[in-house]
Amino acid sequence: MLNVPSQSFPAPSSQQRAASGGRSKVPLKQGRSLMDWIRLTKSGKDLTGLKGRLIEVTEEELRKHNKKDDCWICIRGYVYNVSPYMEYHPGGEDELMRAAGSDGTDLFDEVHRWVNYESMLKECLVGRMAIKPAVPKDYHEEKRVLNGMLPKTQVAGTLAKEGPNSPSYDWFQTDFLVTIVIYTKQKEMGLDSVIVDHQDDSFRAETLIKDYSYFIHIGLSHEVEEDFSVRVVENVGKIEIVLKKKENISWKCLGHPLEKHNLLILKKDTGLYYRKCQLVSKEDVTHDTKLFCLMLPPSTHLQVPVGHHVYLKVTITGTEIVKPYTPVSYSLFSEFKEPDLPNNKYIYFLIKIYPAGLLTPELDHLQIGDFVSVSGPEGNFKKSRLQELEDLFLVAAGTGFTPMVKILNYALSNIPSLRKLKLMFFNKTEDDIIWRNQLEKLAFKDKRFDVEYVLSAPTSEWNGKQGHISPALLSGFLKRSFEKSRVLLCICGPTPFIEQGIMLLHDLYFSKDEIHSFTA
């Protein structure tokens, strides 16, 4: 096992440190943008120092390369020379140096799991870690991770002991249908607990169970139609996926197993899986924010859980660029219920366009009918935290409003105990306020809901609150409906906003269990 640095990552004093795993950028020198890095990787320059050779790297050799001008890092068994990338890293050089000369897999997953490092660092690849000789079966550390990976034969057994009871599956058929049944052995399963993709003869179902994913991944023995149905029996945790046969013949078997089939794996170790979604509409919401509507493939079932996000991926000059976004409802007046397919074939995103950015201008230039790759959901927010709430406070800055949309919709529609739901919405100017008319109509329609706007650069005509997040603003806003009411406070925005907000909330005697922060 490689020696992983013991200090936290990012460092407590780092500018990259953020609540709930968020992060912020540090200033980069001119000519050191992501696009500049892409140009460098395509220049033909030798970025490894090995003149194109790939080598096997021992732990002893890896430890030698631990300086800024000679820095090697191992991620999932592959070693990269990141010295050329130092000045281009948005999190700063010091953050990369935390893993210098060591296995940085865990540190990488903590902050950058969504980043496609294989594409970003492909020209920096030094080689693979040398495999150690096998140890005796009775060796007491037999099941420890080696170079960020577990031998496949150990994965299922190790996780089954540490995680929830392993699910199982079965299948049966009629003349026209094939039904795959997943027994999760968990309550509170919903349509957003299972993701299904099938393409040609490949069928993939990922069931989300707490911090784990259970996979059914099969090469089907016969062809099926694109459309299918998903049903969840919530009280027993049974999931039924009904496929339509293309031919009225009896199947002798369901098919042959593919990667990860019938395994229960920690979610953080599964990697991201993408499907291509088609842009069907794009509407202006503010002067710089648009509502994008993407249509899922007909052969996909995907419902993003409340408070979770996905990653959008586009390829720019041969390099894959990925960024997280939280899906929203079409409007604040969408009836919040779990719709059946096919009405749930669309995913909506509120996206602010940054003219000098790398990804958002590309998204803005997409034409209707173009495709964007969308990952499965990520996040740690549990809907169960909303059950039996009496007071719900939402504090958002700018596009940090996006996680609040579905939480707001869900709470008002599904939590009968809710007495009060308040949103404090920070923006620079009035023109920046997303869905202002809808928010005010909702406040008029539902007396439990109230919204307060705070502007940091208002015009002289503005009569509302102004400034930045502060004890004075929060103390007046966070009034419980009665003493010791059951309360939850959600906060989202830029990293400094979240960090300062959480500190102020603790000062106002809100406990850790009463606060949930999202990363904008």
CATH superfamily for domain 274-378: Translation factors (2.40.30.10)
Residues 429, 291: Cα–Cα separation, whole Å: 19
CATH placement of domain 383-517? 3.40.50.80
pLDDT at 147 exceeding the cut of 60 = no
Q: Number of H helices and number of E strands within the chain? A: 11, 28
What are 227-273's pLDDT values in tens digits?
999 999 877 889 999 999 999 999 999 999 999 999 999 988 888 89
- Residue 278's CB is within 10 A of a number of other CB atoms, namely 15
What are the structure tokens assigned to 156, written together?
């299922």
Residues 375, 363: Cα–Cα separation, whole Å: 16
**Higher pLDDT among residues 366 and 8, named by residue:** 366
- First-residue to last-residue Cα distance in the chain: 35
Closest listed residue to residue 498, CA positions, set 9, 14, 3, 23: 23
pLDDT for res 49: 86
What are 85-127's pLDDT values in tens digits?
999 888 888 888 999 999 988 888 777 766 777 778 888 999 8
Could you tell me where in the chain the CATH 3.40.50.80 domains are found?
383-517
CATH placement of domain 168-269? 2.60.40.790
Could you tell me where in the chain the CATH 2.60.40.790 domains are found?
168-269
> For residues 375 and 311, is the Cβ–Cβ distance under 8 A?
yes
> For residues 167 and 184, is the Cβ–Cβ distance under 8 A?
yes
What are 429-447's pLDDT values in tens digits?
999 999 999 999 999 999 9
pLDDT for res 161: 47
Residue type, 71: C
Closest listed residue to residue 319, CA positions, set 351, 358, 356: 358
**Higher pLDDT among residues 211 and 277, named by residue:** 277
Helix (H) or strand (E) run with residue 372 in it:
strand 371-375
**Higher pLDDT among residues 519 and 421, named by residue:** 421
Could you tell me where in the chain the CATH 2.40.30.10 domains are found?
274-378
What one-character DSSP code corresponds to residue 398?
Answer: G
Check whether domain 25-129 has CATH 3.40.50.300, yes or no: no
Could you tell me where in the chain the CATH 3.10.120.10 domains are found?
25-129
Sheet containing 346-352, strands listed edge to edge, beginning at the edge strand earlier in sequence: 319-325, 310-316, 371-375, 274-284, 289-295, 346-352
pLDDT at 178 exceeding the cut of 80 = yes
pLDDT at 341 exceeding the cut of 60 = no
